[in-house]
Amino acid sequence: MLNYVHSIPTKVFFGKGQIQRLPEALAPFGKRVLLAYGGGSIKRVGLYDTIMKLLHDGGFTVTELSGIEPNPRIESVAEGVRLCKENHIDVILAVGGGSTIDCAKAIACGVFYEGDDLWQMIANGRGRKKALPLVDVLTLSATGSEFDGGGVISNMKLNEKLGAGLTYPAVSICDPTYTFTVSPYQTAAGSADIMSHIFEGYFSREDDCELSDGIAETILKTVMKYTPVALRDPENYSARANLMSCSSVACSGIPEYGKESTGWPCHAMEHELSAFYDITHGVGLAILTPRWMRFILKKDPTALPRFVRFARNVFCLEGEDDQALAQEAIDRLEAYFKSTGIPMTLKELNIDEKHFEVMADHANRNDRLAHAFVPLTRDDIVEIYRACL
């Protein structure tokens, strides 16, 4: 087990009715609030009115930034920075899914960025930065942005989508009832994203991190148990609550404690798909994951014991033939993703081979995947993309 640092400064208010804590969450930072949200779901579900009333009653002044896109754009970040500076904003309140929270994180840092080009702040983005305080109300279980310090911003002019170390939310209000209205497609995609955050650390070389691996396996089983329930019965509180807790822990770093970072190969490959085709992140991950697993298992036989552990501990498979166990586990995972109703091939998303080589080069920039569980070359990545067609 390698050394690790536990440092997550975010306070989470989890559960029904926690929105009532919003005024006390904002108050220490000041009265001038930038309310950031997406394309309107918070208005359709009534959350906007609830929040505006709380803010009004609490004597806050509100400036709004609406229309933050799924796969948030650098242009929205720039607009948010402008609004913050113009209105002397004290604190940002992000209400939405990962895209809104990520955009708000970039705005929070962008206010203090001294360069001319905000995209450079994202592109150079390692390490935490000076930032405005951020409070969020989560409405979609997926990315874990409510409990981590990263953000992912897109520059469609450059076909780039990059993750950066930005800032942690000071407070996240996580009420599972706000996810009752999430569509089946986004519910399934979000669940695939949660699972992928686990796979990226679980498939690693450190075999003695029992706590991390146990948390990882529990999250995988929990997500596969409750996603079908949420799809059948969108207002099932237990299902939505379990998915929301899994969302926060899966991407927090905790399931990777004691492990060397793998470079997150499926995320590296998926961000290229999103950067060129603006697809839903979790759908891209669900398509890539089983193909990546089959590829690395074939490329490097030393990967087998991890897959056997995955088969036994997550799918409760039994038998003496390790290869058969590993293949069966991957098949079951693929069948599970299919059963949630999301596309499972790139063709269904109208993606062909055209950009595979450029995407592969970029996914592996600075030899990012040289330390993956099974290191990947550019040609390997192209082969994985092809297997996804």
- The interface with Zn ion within residues 173-202 (CB under 5 A) comprises 193
Segment near ligand NZQ (CB under 6 A); pick from 18-26, 144-152, 312-320, 326-334: 144-152
Element (H, E) at 136: strand 134-138
* Site pattern 257..286 for ligand NZQ (x: CB under 6 A): ----------x-------------xx----
Q: Which stretch binds ligand NZQ (CB under 6 A): 137-145, 219-227, 323-331, 365-373?
A: 137-145
Beta carbons of 148 and 251 less than 8 angstroms apart: yes
- The one of Zn ion, ligand NZQ, none whose footprint includes residue 38, by CB under 5 to 8 A per kind, is ligand NZQ
Out of ligand NZQ, Zn ion, none, what residue 190 binds, judged by CB under 5 to 8 A for its kind, is: ligand NZQ
Give the list of residues 6+ apart from residue 348 with CB closer than 8 angstroms, or none.
none
Beta-strand ranges (E) seen in 97-222 are: 134-138, 150-155, 160-165, 171-174
Side-chain half-sphere exposure of 326, counting CA atoms within 13 A: 18
> From the CB of 197, what's the least distance to Zn ion, in Å?
6
Cα 61 to chain centroid distance, Å, stands at: 31
Residue written as tokens 């190969």? 265
Strands 32-37 and 11-14: unpaired
For residue 96, the partner it binds in Zn ion, ligand NZQ, none, with Cβ less than 5 to 8 A by kind, is ligand NZQ
H or E stretch at 91 = strand 91-96
Kindly report the backbone phi and psi dihedral angles of residue 173, in degrees, each rounded to the nearest multiple of 5, phi listed first. -100, 115
Using CB under 6 A, count the residues that bind ligand NZQ.
35
- Partner from ligand NZQ, Zn ion, none binding residue 319, C-beta < 5-8 Å depending on class: none
142 binds ligand NZQ (CB under 6 A): yes
Q: Which does 39 bind (CB under 5 to 8 A by kind): Zn ion, ligand NZQ, none?
A: ligand NZQ
> Could you give the residue ranges of the DSSP H alpha helices within 27-91?
41-44, 47-57, 74-86
Query: Does an H or E element contain 99, and which?
Result: helix 98-110
Task: Return the residue of 10, 18, 76, 143 that touches ligand NZQ, per CB under 6 A.
Answer: 143
Cβ atoms within 10 Å of 181's Cβ, excluding its own: 17
- Residue 124, token pair as written in the block: 């150079």
Q: Does the footprint of ligand NZQ cover residue 39 (CB under 6 A)?
A: yes
251 is a site residue for ligand NZQ (CB under 6 A): yes
C-beta closer to ligand NZQ: residue 10 or 71 = 71
Find the angle CA(128)-CA(133)-CA(139) to the nearest 5 degrees: 95
Closest alpha carbon to 210 in 261, 260, 257: 257
Q: Which of residues 366-385 bind ligand NZQ (CB under 6 A)?
A: none
Q: Is 290 in the site for ligand NZQ (CB under 6 A)?
A: no
Taking CB within 5 to 8 Å according to partner kind, which of Zn ion, ligand NZQ, none is near residue 148?
ligand NZQ
CB of 100 to ligand NZQ, least distance (A): 6
Work out the number of other CB atoms within 10 angstroms of the CB of residue 124. 11
- Which residue lies nearer to ligand NZQ by CB, 37 or 310? 37
Q: Which of 80, 110, 176, 190 binds ligand NZQ (CB under 6 A)?
A: 190
Q: Scanning the structure block, which residue is given the tokens 């552990």?
A: 309
CA–CA distance, 194 with 142 (Å, rounded to integer): 5
Q: Please identify, using beta-carbon distances, which residue of 193 and 217 lies nearer to Zn ion.
A: 193
Select the binding partner of residue 231 from ligand NZQ, Zn ion, none (C-beta < 5 to 8 A, by kind).
Answer: none
Q: For residues 32 and 171, what is the distance between their CA atoms, to the nearest angstrom?
A: 17
- Residue ranges binding ligand NZQ (CB under 6 A): 38-42, 45, 70-71, 96-100, 102, 139-140, 142-145, 148, 150-152, 178-179, 181-182, 186, 190, 193, 251, 267, 281-282
- Residue ranges binding Zn ion (CB under 5 A): 193
